[in-house]
């Protein structure tokens, strides 16, 4: 909701978030959104319209597999899950991310030469 | 249908565009609905929630379009993947199953590779020699002109005369331009003693020929019309081929403008042509201006080759119509050369032919097509054998097929398996065929008669590959579909534990048809090969009219710059004859303008001494100058006597005529002491002093020619004759085995008398005799090879079928033997079965052979296309073959153990 403070998403981070989220188990698009919002305490807000193209693209690349299934409320929904390729991708992205944040952290912690 | 999980999703993704759209819409709808419900749960009205949900989502339509685009792309990618995946899997499976039955694969591979390779090799020759256009720009617009004169049987086709070319050039609208030429050997004399004298093939050409053929110079310039004009007085410009320039002048970059010695005269080199520039039918080293002047009066000198270039859009029929009409006007245009009576009497006309057909010639074209047909027949026989192998395999794999079918493989899937297998096999065979064709072509080109036109254009190329690939594909698809054409997979087999025999009669019928067709095809090839063998034997049996053993021949040509009178030329030959005669091992020596068998078609009229004011004019007689010793050396039988050296020197006017000539004019009288005049009936008058036996002057397959042999000096003085006897063939008869060893001494003798006289064309007379048969031998050998291959393949085919029959009838044979049949009876029964198949094949083959061997036509000599001996021999050979091929299975059948066969 508009009142919730949101952070602008860094470019390329969406893929990582989706991959990580799906690593907990297969889920549909709306559930992915909910998971991200819940876990981050509503701090990260994903643009809804951008989520689906990202999901389809990752499916096209073979990172995700999609299957029609039923929700607990017995609605037909398209579920996504990680493929083996997707899992490897996630590991690689995580490594990259941690290196990046580490480097940024180092820089920000530095006081500079006196 | 069970499929592994990796591929499952393909079938979940809808295949149609509309399905994709539904998918995207459903997913988005689910999202929006979910959001709306959440928002409503938080207290919004449905309408508010719906507006809010849409707002959060952003531009719904553009997102939907984006999703569709991604999905469509994804689907295409997956279909491609799926396809290559399936193909790859099927091929891998096919390679594996073929690997499991190595004998089958190897036999099929070898058979097909041989068949395809042979077909590819001959197709490559066919393509290069017959099908491909000549290597000139727009070669399909080039035509050759000639003048058929059917009324003159001995020389039914003439060349054109110079004035005719000018006339056509002026009057024709269908021809853009015309060029004229005549080929000759020129003598490159020493260049001031710096180099060896050499005979070089030369063309005397009109300047327009270069434009017609699209030839441009590499250095310097081409010949121009001025050169043609000046050539009537003196020859002062020469153009040389790239080959001669590199070989003799070491690629001298300053050659243009230099002088070379041609026949003893200095001539200026005006240019060098690129390597590709050549005449269509003859490789020449020197291009010299033909003496011609448009203003010269017309002369009856129909000896030139003419090439025309048709205008764009004109076809040969158009050009022919126009030139026929123009030719009809000759008597008006050139009354001094053509009279209506002459035109009518000879049937004189002008023939337009595509240059390619003219160069390749109908006999060559025909021979190559026949060979091509033969290898296609071999390929068919090979394919029939492989088809048989496939059928055997289908038998052995019926159980496997039944099992696969029982667990759900559709007929289509089974067909795909078999197709993949046959395509892998034929694909490999096509690769093998390229190797076979490569080796075969080297062999063929080395073996081919040197006068086979366009031989240097024969290379393995894309057309050959394309041909092989198409053949392999056709074979692969046919063989692959063969099992599925044979009806339903037999599920009953499963119940019978794989021993069922349902459907066997039909399978056998297919195989019998295959084997009888093989026999029929093999018989056709055998007959054709047999006819050619007989033709060649007949030709070899023809007595040439001379004795070729221990005779060495070579050509000598005197540079006309220094041999300007018949006396000087005669002195040279007389001196050389004396020196060669004195060499150890030499029995006799002589010179003649031509050798038997190689005599050109060129002929002139002679006037003979018969009652009447001007004598009778002969239609076509070959005129030749000979020196004493010519007849003796060649051992041409001679009644009367030939002029000797003193008589020749004195200018005594006596001549020798051939038997054919004598019989033509004095059928029941003695020709000796009659008289003959040369050519246009000018004096002198020659007394006939001798008559030769029948000499095959034009080739073994032609009847002995009409020849008048003149002595050298008086003949050369004859005002009707152009030129001196400067080019002569030397014939030397030696003691046995000495022919080659006298060569160095002869060279030395020539060099000592005149170092500027080149020697060329050294060859034993026996070799020339063999060469005259080369083209026929070549065709015959290849056809015989094809027939042999066909025989072997047919034998393998009949062996396979009979083996199969024996295996099928094991229990029946067992019963027979249990009931007391003897081993011989069983063997006889099996062999009889094979003979029935062969018999049917032979009968069909005989009918086909009778219908088709006629196409051999001009290749045959002294044997009818339906020669009974050949037909009988071919039939016998096949029958023997069928007996031999069935013998091993017959023995196997006779060793069947009755108890075992009945129990098993």
* Contact indicator for B676, B686 with CB cutoff of 8 Å: yes
Please report which confidence band the pLDDT of residue B600 belongs to, taking 50, 70 and 90 as the band edges: low
pLDDT of residue B165: 92
Burial class (CB in 10 A: 0-12, 13-18, 19+), B645: middle
Please report which confidence band the pLDDT of residue B326 belongs to, taking 50, 70 and 90 as the band edges: very high
Map B269-290 to HEC letters: EEEECCCCCCCCCCCCCEEEEC
Determine whether the interchain pair A47/B58 forms a contact, defined as Cβ–Cβ distance below 8 Å. yes
pLDDT of residue A8: 58
Region of poorest pLDDT, from B241-255, B438-452, B509-523: B438-452
Determine whether the interchain pair B71/A56 forms a contact, defined as Cβ–Cβ distance below 8 Å. yes
Q: What is the mean pLDDT of residues B246-274?
A: 89
Which residue stretches of B59-186 are H helix? 60-100, 102-125, 162-171
Segment B715-720 long-range contacts (CB within 8 Å, at least 24 positions apart) = B715/B566, B715/B623, B715/B625, B715/B678, B716/B566, B716/B569, B716/B625, B717/B566, B717/B651, B717/B684, B718/B678, B718/B679, B718/B682, B718/B683, B718/B684, B719/B682, B720/B678, B720/B679, B720/B680, B720/B681, B720/B682
Residues of chain A found within 8 Å of residue B36, distances taken between Cβ atoms: none
Q: What is the mean pLDDT of residues A83-101?
A: 93
pLDDT of residue B683: 59
B82 touches chain A (CB under 8 A): no
Please report which confidence band the pLDDT of residue B4 belongs to, taking 50, 70 and 90 as the band edges: very low
pLDDT of residue A3: 37
Q: What is the mean pLDDT of residues B144-160?
A: 79
How close, in Å, is residue A94 to chain B by CA atoms? 26
B51 touches chain A (CB under 8 A): no
Q: What is the mean pLDDT of residues B418-424?
A: 88
- Residues 381 to 410 of B: which have CB under 8 A from any A CB? none
Please give the residue that has the higher pLDDT: either B580 or A11: B580
Alpha carbons A20 and B495: distance in angstroms, whole number:
56
Alpha carbons A45 and A4: distance in angstroms, whole number:
9
For the cut 70, the answer to whether the pLDDT of residue B575 exceeds it is yes
Alpha carbons B281 and B146: distance in angstroms, whole number:
15
Residues of chain A found within 8 Å of residue B30, distances taken between Cβ atoms: 28-30, 75-78
* Contact indicator for B725, B627 with CB cutoff of 8 Å: no
CA B517 to chain centre: 27
For the cut 80, the answer to whether the pLDDT of residue B2 exceeds it is no
What tens digit of pLDDT does each residue of B833-850 get? 889 988 999 999 999 998
Nearest to B57 among A48, A67, A76 (CB): A48
Measured CA angle at B756 (ends B753, B759), to 5 deg: 85
Alpha carbons B125 and B369: distance in angstroms, whole number:
10
Determine whether the interchain pair B30/A47 forms a contact, defined as Cβ–Cβ distance below 8 Å. no
Tokens 């094991």, residue?
B810
Determine whether the interchain pair A52/B58 forms a contact, defined as Cβ–Cβ distance below 8 Å. no
**Using N-to-C axis directions, what is the helix angle for B60-100 and B102-125, rounded to 10°?**
100
What tens digit of pLDDT does each residue of A11-68 get? 678 889 999 999 999 999 999 988 988 888 888 778 888 889 999 999 999 999 988 8
Q: How many CB atoms sit inside 10 A of residue B768's CB? A: 18
Cα R_g (chain A), whole angstroms: 16
For the cut 70, the answer to whether the pLDDT of residue B616 exceeds it is no
Please give the residue that has the higher pLDDT: either B863 or B682: B863
Please give the residue that has the higher pLDDT: either B840 or B454: B840
Residues of chain A found within 8 Å of residue B71, distances taken between Cβ atoms: 56
For the cut 70, the answer to whether the pLDDT of residue B9 exceeds it is no
Determine whether the interchain pair B28/A52 forms a contact, defined as Cβ–Cβ distance below 8 Å. yes
pLDDT of residue B201: 87
Q: Which stretches of chain A sit within 8 Å of chain B by CB?
A: 28-30, 47-50, 52-53, 56-57, 59-60, 65-68, 75-78
For the cut 50, the answer to whether the pLDDT of residue B392 exceeds it is yes
Determine whether the interchain pair A56/B57 forms a contact, defined as Cβ–Cβ distance below 8 Å. no
Find all residues with CB under 8 Å of B54, minimum gap 6, and list them. Answer: B32, B60
pLDDT of residue B466: 93
Please report which confidence band the pLDDT of residue B336 belongs to, taking 50, 70 and 90 as the band edges: confident
Alpha carbons B894 and B873: distance in angstroms, whole number:
30
Nearest to B66 among A30, A53, A75 (CB): A53
Nearest chain B alpha carbon to A48: B57
How close, in Å, is residue B84 to chain A by CA atoms? 17
Percent of chain B with pLDDT over 90: 28
How close, in Å, is residue B89 to chain A by CA atoms? 21
How close, in Å, is residue B11 to chain A by CA atoms? 11
What tens digit of pLDDT does each residue of B109-137 get? 988 998 999 899 989 988 888 887 788 88
Nearest chain A alpha carbon to B73: A60
For the cut 50, the answer to whether the pLDDT of residue B5 exceeds it is no
Give SS3 for B144: strand
Region of poorest pLDDT, from A59-73, B253-267, B594-608, B711-725: B711-725
Name the average pLDDT for chain B: 83
B443 touches chain A (CB under 8 A): no
Taking the alpha carbons of B810, B811, B816, B822 in that order, is the dihedral positive or negative? positive
B102 touches chain A (CB under 8 A): no
Alpha carbons B393 and B402: distance in angstroms, whole number:
14
B74 touches chain A (CB under 8 A): yes
Which residue stretches of chain A are H helix? 13-22, 29-39, 48-60, 84-109
How close, in Å, is residue A114 to chain B by CA atoms? 49
Residues of chain A found within 8 Å of residue B59, distances taken between Cβ atoms: 49
Residues of chain A found within 8 Å of residue B32, distances taken between Cβ atoms: none
Determine whether the interchain pair B63/A28 forms a contact, defined as Cβ–Cβ distance below 8 Å. no
B34 touches chain A (CB under 8 A): yes
* B6, B34, B39, best to mutate vs chain A, most A CBs in 10 Å: B34
B12 touches chain A (CB under 8 A): yes
Nearest to A77 among B30, B57, B60 (CB): B30
Please report which confidence band the pLDDT of residue B725 belongs to, taking 50, 70 and 90 as the band edges: confident
Find all residues with CB under 8 Å of B535, minimum gap 6, and list them. Answer: B776, B780, B859, B860, B861, B862, B863
For the cut 60, the answer to whether the pLDDT of residue B435 exceeds it is yes
Structure tokens at B824: 């011989």
Residues of chain B found within 8 Å of residue A67, distances taken between Cβ atoms: 9, 12
Nearest chain B alpha carbon to A80: B27
What tens digit of pLDDT does each residue of B488-536 get? 555 555 554 444 444 556 667 878 888 898 889 999 999 999 998 998 8
Region of poorest pLDDT, from A64-78, B367-381, B503-517, B657-671: B503-517
Alpha carbons B635 and B591: distance in angstroms, whole number:
13
For the cut 60, the answer to whether the pLDDT of residue B370 exceeds it is yes
Residues of chain A found within 8 Å of residue B67, distances taken between Cβ atoms: 52-53, 56
List the beta bridge partners of residue B708: B623, B657
Please report which confidence band the pLDDT of residue B612 belongs to, taking 50, 70 and 90 as the band edges: very low
- What is the number of CB-based contacts under 8 A between chain A and chain B? 55
* A9, A26, A27, A48, best to mutate vs chain B, most B CBs in 10 Å: A48
Q: How many CB atoms sit inside 10 A of residue B157's CB? A: 13
What tens digit of pLDDT does each residue of B619-633 get? 567 778 888 899 999
Give SS3 for A23: coil
pLDDT of residue B15: 53
Alpha carbons B542 and B703: distance in angstroms, whole number:
10
Please report which confidence band the pLDDT of residue A2 belongs to, taking 50, 70 and 90 as the band edges: very low
What tens digit of pLDDT does each residue of B200-219 get? 889 999 999 999 999 999 99
Determine whether the interchain pair B57/A57 forms a contact, defined as Cβ–Cβ distance below 8 Å. no
Q: What is the mean pLDDT of residues B802-821?
A: 83
Nearest chain B alpha carbon to A30: B31
DSSP state at residue B565: S
pLDDT of residue B853: 85
For the cut 90, the answer to whether the pLDDT of residue A90 exceeds it is yes
Please report which confidence band the pLDDT of residue B223 belongs to, taking 50, 70 and 90 as the band edges: very high
Nearest to B70 among A47, A60, A75 (CB): A60
Nearest to B70 among A53, A67, A77 (CB): A53
* A1, A46, A66, best to mutate vs chain B, most B CBs in 10 Å: A66
Determine whether the interchain pair A60/B77 forms a contact, defined as Cβ–Cβ distance below 8 Å. yes
Determine whether the interchain pair A48/B66 forms a contact, defined as Cβ–Cβ distance below 8 Å. no
For the cut 70, the answer to whether the pLDDT of residue B714 exceeds it is no
Determine whether the interchain pair B9/A66 forms a contact, defined as Cβ–Cβ distance below 8 Å. yes
Find all residues with CB under 8 Å of B44, minimum gap 6, and list them. Answer: B52
Structure tokens at A91: 């590991």
Nearest to B57 among A49, A56, A66 (CB): A49
Residue of B233, B249, B138, B228 lying closest to B182 (CA atoms): B228
pTM given for the model: 0.71
Find all residues with CB under 8 Å of A36, minimum gap 6, and list them. Answer: A17, A21, A44, A46
Q: What is the mean pLDDT of residues B590-612?
A: 68
List the beta bridge partners of residue B553: B731, B763
B9 touches chain A (CB under 8 A): yes
pLDDT of residue B819: 86
């Amino acid at each position: 909701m508009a009142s919730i403070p949101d952070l602008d998403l860094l470019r390329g981070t969406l893929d990582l978030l989706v991959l990580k989220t799906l690593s907990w188990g297969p889920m549909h698009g709306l559930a992915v959104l909910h998971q991200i919002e819940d876990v981050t305490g509503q701090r990260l807000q994903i643009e809804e319209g951008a989520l689906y193209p990202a999901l389809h693209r990752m499916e096209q690349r073979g990172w995700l597999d999609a299957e029609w299934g039923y929700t607990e409320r017995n609605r037909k929904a398209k579920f996504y899950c990680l493929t083996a390729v997707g899992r490897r991708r996630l590991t690689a992205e995580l490594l990259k991310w941690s290196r990046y944040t580490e480097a940024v952290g180092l820089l920000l912690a530095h006081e500079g030469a006196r | 249908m069970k499929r592994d999980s990796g591929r499952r999703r393909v079938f979940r993704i809808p295949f149609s565009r509309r399905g994709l759209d539904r998918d995207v819409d459903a997913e988005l709808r689910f999202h929006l609905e979910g959001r709306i419900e959440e928002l409503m749960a938080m207290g919004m009205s449905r309408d508010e929630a719906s507006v809010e949900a849409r707002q959060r989502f952003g531009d719904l339509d553009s997102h939907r379009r984006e999703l569709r685009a991604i999905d469509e792309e994804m689907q295409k990618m997956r279909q491609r993947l799926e396809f290559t995946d399936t193909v790859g899997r099927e091929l891998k499976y096919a390679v594996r199953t073929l690997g499991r039955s190595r004998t089958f694969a190897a036999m099929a591979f070898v058979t097909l590779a041989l068949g395809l390779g042979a077909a590819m090799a001959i197709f490559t020759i066919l393509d290069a020699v017959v099908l491909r256009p000549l290597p000139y720009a727009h070669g399909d617009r080039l035509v050759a002109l000639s003048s058929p004169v059917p009324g003159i049987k001995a020389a039914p086709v003439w060349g054109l005369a110079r004035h005719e070319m000018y006339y056509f050039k002026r009057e024709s609208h269908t021809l853009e331009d015309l060029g004229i030429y005549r080929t000759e050997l020129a003598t490159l004399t020493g260049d001031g003693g710096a180099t060896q004298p050499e005979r070089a093939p030369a063309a005397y050409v009109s300047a327009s020929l270069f434009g017609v053929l699209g030839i441009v110079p590499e250095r310097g310039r081409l010949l121009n019309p001025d050169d043609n004009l000046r050539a009537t007085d003196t020859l002062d410009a020469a153009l040389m081929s790239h080959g001669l320039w590199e070989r003799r002048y070491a690629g001298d970059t300053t050659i243009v403008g230099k002088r070379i010695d041609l026949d003893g005269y200095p001539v200026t080199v005006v240019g060098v042509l690129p390597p590709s520039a050549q005449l269509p039918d003859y490789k020449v080293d020197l291009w010299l201006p033909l003496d011609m002047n448009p203003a010269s009066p017309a002369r009856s000198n129909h000896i030139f080759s003419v090439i025309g270039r048709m205008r764009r859009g004109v076809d040969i029929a158009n050009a022919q119509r126009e030139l026929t009409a123009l030719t009809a006007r000759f008597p008006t245009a050139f009354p001094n050369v053509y009279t209506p009576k002459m035109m009518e009497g000879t049937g004189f006309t002008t023939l337009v032919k595509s240059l390619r057909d003219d160069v390749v010639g109908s006999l060559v074209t025909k021979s190559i097509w026949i060979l091509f047909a033969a290898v296609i027949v071999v390929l068919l026989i090979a394919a029939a054998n492989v088809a048989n192998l496939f059928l055997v395999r289908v038998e052995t794999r019926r159980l496997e097929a039944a099992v696969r079918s029982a667990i759900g493989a559709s007929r289509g899937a089974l067909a795909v398996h078999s197709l993949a297998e046959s395509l892998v096999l034929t694909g490999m065979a096509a690769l093998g065929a390229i190797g076979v064709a490569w080796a075969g072509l080297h062999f063929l080109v080395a073996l081919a008669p040197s006068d086979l036109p366009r031989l240097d254009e024969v290379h393995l190329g894309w057309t050959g590959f394309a041909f092989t690939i198409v053949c392999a594909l056709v074979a692969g698809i046919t063989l692959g579909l063969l099992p599925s054409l044979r009806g339903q997979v037999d599920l009953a087999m499963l119940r019978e534990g794989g021993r069922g025999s349902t459907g066997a009669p039909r399978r056998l019928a297919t195989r019998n048809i295959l084997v009888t067709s093989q026999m029929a095809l093999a018989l056709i090839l055998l007959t054709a090969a047999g006819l050619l063998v007989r033709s060649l034997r007949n030709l070899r049996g023809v007595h040439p009219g001379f004795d070729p053993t221990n005779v060495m021949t070579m050509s000598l040509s005197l540079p006309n710059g220094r041999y300007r009178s018949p006396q000087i030329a005669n002195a040279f030959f007389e001196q050389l004859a004396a020196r060669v005669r004195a060499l150890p091992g030499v029995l006799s020596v002589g010179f003649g303008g031509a050798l038997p068998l190689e005599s050109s078609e060129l002929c002139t009229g002679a006037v003979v001494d018969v009652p009447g004011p001007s004598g009778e004019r002969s239609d076509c007689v070959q005129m030749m100058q000979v020196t004493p010793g010519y007849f003796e050396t060649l051992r041409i039988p001679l009644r009367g006597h030939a002029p000797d050296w003193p008589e020749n020197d004195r200018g005594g006017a006596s001549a020798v005529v051939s038997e054919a000539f004598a019989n033509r004019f004095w059928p029941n009288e003695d020709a000796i002491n009659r008289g003959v005049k040369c050519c246009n009936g000018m004096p002198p008058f020659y007394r006939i002093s001798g008559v030769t036996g029948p000499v095959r002057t034009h080739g073994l397959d032609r009847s002995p020619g009409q020849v008048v042999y003149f002595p050298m000096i008086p003949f050369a003085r004859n005002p009707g004759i152009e030129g001196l006897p400067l080019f002569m063939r030397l014939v030397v008869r030696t003691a046995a085995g000495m022919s080659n060893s006298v060569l160095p001494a002869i060279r030395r003798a020539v060099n000592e008398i005149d170092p500027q006289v080149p020697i060329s064309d050294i060859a034993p007379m026996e070799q020339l005799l063999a060469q005259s048969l080369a083209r026929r031998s070549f065709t015959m050998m290849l056809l015989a090879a094809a027939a042999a291959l066909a025989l072997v393949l047919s034998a393998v085919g009949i062996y396979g079928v009979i083996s199969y029959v024996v295996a099928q009838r094991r229990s029946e044979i067992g019963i027979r033997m249990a009931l007391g049949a003897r081993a011989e009876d069983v063997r006889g029964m099996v062999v009889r079965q094979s003979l029935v198949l062969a018999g049917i094949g032979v009968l069909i083959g005989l009918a086909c052979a009778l219908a088709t061997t006629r196409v051999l036509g001009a290749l045959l000599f002294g044997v009818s296309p339906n020669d009974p001996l050949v037909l009988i021999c071919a039939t016998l050979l096949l029958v023997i073959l069928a007996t031999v091929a069935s013998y091993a299975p017959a023995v196997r059948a006779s060793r069947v153990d009755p108890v075992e066969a009945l129990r098993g």
